[in-house]
């Protein structure tokens, strides 16, 4: 299945934006990920460094992007050399010549030339930008190059004085999504919503969690998102009270809930959707009450998203709704204001309300404007998740038995727009009625 993916010119435009923000007479390096061994001589599925990908669209391991800002600006890619024998064994490589043409770099070279060319360009630059501390091997390599440049001082060559962490600059660019990025994120949300629909239809007592995981992966791939953006959480019953449960190894029990947190990846972009539904297709009265409370909190938080809004404010709203709801259900006892001040509901709502979403599922971008409060005002083009949840441990004697071992989370992906917001998660059933209807068709 063909989807509209990122036009190659957008990667070049992003490089130009980085260059525009670099100081005069400087240089920047961005390195790709390397393959990671899974067992003996086999590797994990390769996942490109998302910052590197954002600037290149180049999906091979070990490559390096160099941006040079001197009299003119130019971008240079270093990549694995074409190698017929290696390619017969391990797969095709783009090679420097094709990379330069197809990815719109000003120049491209084989990796073997990286050191000499990097040292040549580091000479007499004022500053070098790199993702400090991001990849230890690259940091070491850069220090080695700088030492070599310093070693040329008798020839009158100066090494850069400033080493600047380029990550904040890159993260800020990535935080505001372009229309092409939003288009991809809409598509991957649609695909992932279909996968959640399929999971609901295939779920019944006795099926194993990993079998439902397989249904999700099948549906992602069927629609063009070949891989999951992160390990799918398929958590039946009390497994849902483990936030990052990915064992997915248990059979599902009639009468319990199933929490699925799963999203596909398309052109590098993640969806991150959670749905919780009854394994037998019908909510019990207790399940309904808790589910509706989480849903009310989620929908009211989403409805409040607009430019200028903050995650801190939404979190306050969420806590107020959940706390009042828990009082109404008799799970919390006391005055609303005091319980809010005491953070009483945090015992059951144990994670944050949401996070930025993009190439990384927990995407980059600063959340803080002062201290550690999430007071950054939303701007059009930001995409975030809204994912309230309530989790009651199996052995929590503070709550009545009827609530123990229940975990509920509902998570959508939302774009901040000029007018307010657009919920990208439109086709994953969410209301009690929609879920029961789909599961009992
Ligand atoms: N899927 C991970 C999260 O919701 O943050
Ligand atoms: Mn999330
Ligand atoms: Mn999630």
Give residue 357 CA to ligand 2 midpoint distance, Å: 8
How do residues 256-304 score in pLDDT, each as one tens digit? 999 999 999 999 999 999 999 999 999 999 999 999 999 999 999 999 9
pLDDT value for 375 = 87
* Pairing relationship of beta strands 42-43 and 37-39 according to DSSP bridges: antiparallel
Q: Which domains does the chain have, with CATH numbers?
A: 8-174 (3.40.350.10), 176-439 (3.90.230.10)
272 ligand 1 Cβ < 6 A = yes
261 ligand 1 Cβ < 6 A = yes
230 ligand 1 Cβ < 6 A = yes
Exactly one of 49, 181, 238, 261 is catalytic; which is it? 261
Of ligand 1's listed atoms, the one at least distance from the Cα of 230 is 1
Computed over every residue of the chain, the mean pLDDT equals 96
pLDDT value for 3 = 53
411 ligand 1 Cβ < 6 A = yes
Question: Going edge to edge, which strands form the sheet with 26-31?
Answer: 107-110, 73-79, 64-69, 26-31, 127-130, 162-165
Rg over CA atoms, the chain: 25
CB neighbours of residue 78 within 10 Å: 26
From 229, 388, 411, the mutation candidate for ligand 1 (largest count of ligand atoms within 8 A of CB) is 411
412 ligand 1 Cβ < 6 A = no
How do residues 319-344 score in pLDDT, each as one tens digit? 999 999 999 999 999 999 999 999 99
Active site residue 102: no
Rounded CA separation 68/392 (Å): 54
Strand (E) positions, 94-206? Answer: 107-110, 127-130, 162-165
The pTM for the full model equals: 0.96
Q: How far apart are the first and last CA of the chain?
A: 28
Please count the CA atoms within 13 angstroms of the CA of 120 that sit on its side-chain side. 6
- Which of helix, strand or coil describes residue 35? coil
pLDDT value for 106 = 97
Exactly one of 3, 134, 351, 404 is catalytic; which is it? 351
- Which of helix, strand or coil describes residue 65? strand
Active site residue 422: no
pLDDT value for 73 = 86
Rounded CA separation 366/175 (Å): 9
Contact 46, 34 (CB under 8 A): no
* Pairing relationship of beta strands 264-266 and 273-278 according to DSSP bridges: unpaired
DSSP 294: H
pLDDT < 70: residue spans in the chain: 1-4, 370-372
Active site residue 328: no
DSSP 63: -
Give residue 58 CA to ligand 3 midpoint distance, Å: 27
Give residue 362 CA to ligand 2 midpoint distance, Å: 7
How do residues 64-75 score in pLDDT, each as one tens digit? 999 999 988 899
CA angle 197/232/223 to nearest 5° reads: 50
Give residue 355 CA to ligand 2 midpoint distance, Å: 6
Q: Hey, what are 357's tokens? A: 């979403």
Q: Which ligand minimizes its atom distance to the CA of 358?
A: 2
In terms of Cα–Cα distance, which of 126, 388, 110, 410 is closest to 258? 410
Contact 252, 203 (CB under 8 A): yes
Give residue 373 CA to ligand 2 midpoint distance, Å: 19
Rounded CA separation 322/332 (Å): 10
Rounded CA separation 199/228 (Å): 14
Burial class (CB in 10 A: 0-12, 13-18, 19+), 365: buried
Active site residue 230: no
From 230, 243, 386, the mutation candidate for ligand 1 (largest count of ligand atoms within 8 A of CB) is 230
pLDDT value for 133 = 86
């Amino acid at each position: 299945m063909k989807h509209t993916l990122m036009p190659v010119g957008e990667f070049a435009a992003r490089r130009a934006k980085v260059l525009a923000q670099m100081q005069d007479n400087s240089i920047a390096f961005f390195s790709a990920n390397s393959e990671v061994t899974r067992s003996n001589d086999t590797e994990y599925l390769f996942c490109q460094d998302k910052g590197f990908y954002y600037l290149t669209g180049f999906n091979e391991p070990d490559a390096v992007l160099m941006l040079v800002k001197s009299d003119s600006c130019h971008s240079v890619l270093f990549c694995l050399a074409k190698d017929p024998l290696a390619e017969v064994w391990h797969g095709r490589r783009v090679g420097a010549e094709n990379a330069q043409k197809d990815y719109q770099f000003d120049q491209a070279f084989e990796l073997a030339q990286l050191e000499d060319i990097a040292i040549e360009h580091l000479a007499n630059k004022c500053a070098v930008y790199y993702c400090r501390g991001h990849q230890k091997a690259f940091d070491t390599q850069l220090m080695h190059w700088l030492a070599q440049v310093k070693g040329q001082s008798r020839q009158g060559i100066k090494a850069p004085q400033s080493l600047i962490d380029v990550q904040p600059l890159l993260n800020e660019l990535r935080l505001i999504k372009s229309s092409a990025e939003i288009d991809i994120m809409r598509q991957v949300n649609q695909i992932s919503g279909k996968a959640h629909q399929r999971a609901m239809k295939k779920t019944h007592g006795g099926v194993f969690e990993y079998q439902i995981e397989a249904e999700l992966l099948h549906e992602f791939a069927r629609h063009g998102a070949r891989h999951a953006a992160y390990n799918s959480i398929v958590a039946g019953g009390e497994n849902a009270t483990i936030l990052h449960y990915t064992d997915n190894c248990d059979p599902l029990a009639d009468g319990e809930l199933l929490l699925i947190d799963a999203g596909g990846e398309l052109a590098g972009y993640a969806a991150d959707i959670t749905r919780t539904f009854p394994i037998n297709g019908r909510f019990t009265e207790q399940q309904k009450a808790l589910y509706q409370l989480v849903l009310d909190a989620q929908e009211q938080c989403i409805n409040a998203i607009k430019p200028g809004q903050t995650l801190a404010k939404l979190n306050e709203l969420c806590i107020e709704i959940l706390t009042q709801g828990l009082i109404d259900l008799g799970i919390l006892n006391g005055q609303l204001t005091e319980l809010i001040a005491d953070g009483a509901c945090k015992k059951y709502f144990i994670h944050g309300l949401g996070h930025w979403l993009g190439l990384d599922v927990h995407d980059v971008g600063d959340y803080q404007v002062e201290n550690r409060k999430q007071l950054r005002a939303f701007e059009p083009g930001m995409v975030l998740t809204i994912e309230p949840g309530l989790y009651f441990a199996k052995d929590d004697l503070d709550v009545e038995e009827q609530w123990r071992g229940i975990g509920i989370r509902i998570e959508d992906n939302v774009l901040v727009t000029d007018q307010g917001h657009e919920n990208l998660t439109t086709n994953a059933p969410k209301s009690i009625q929609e879920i029961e209807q789909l599961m009992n068709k």
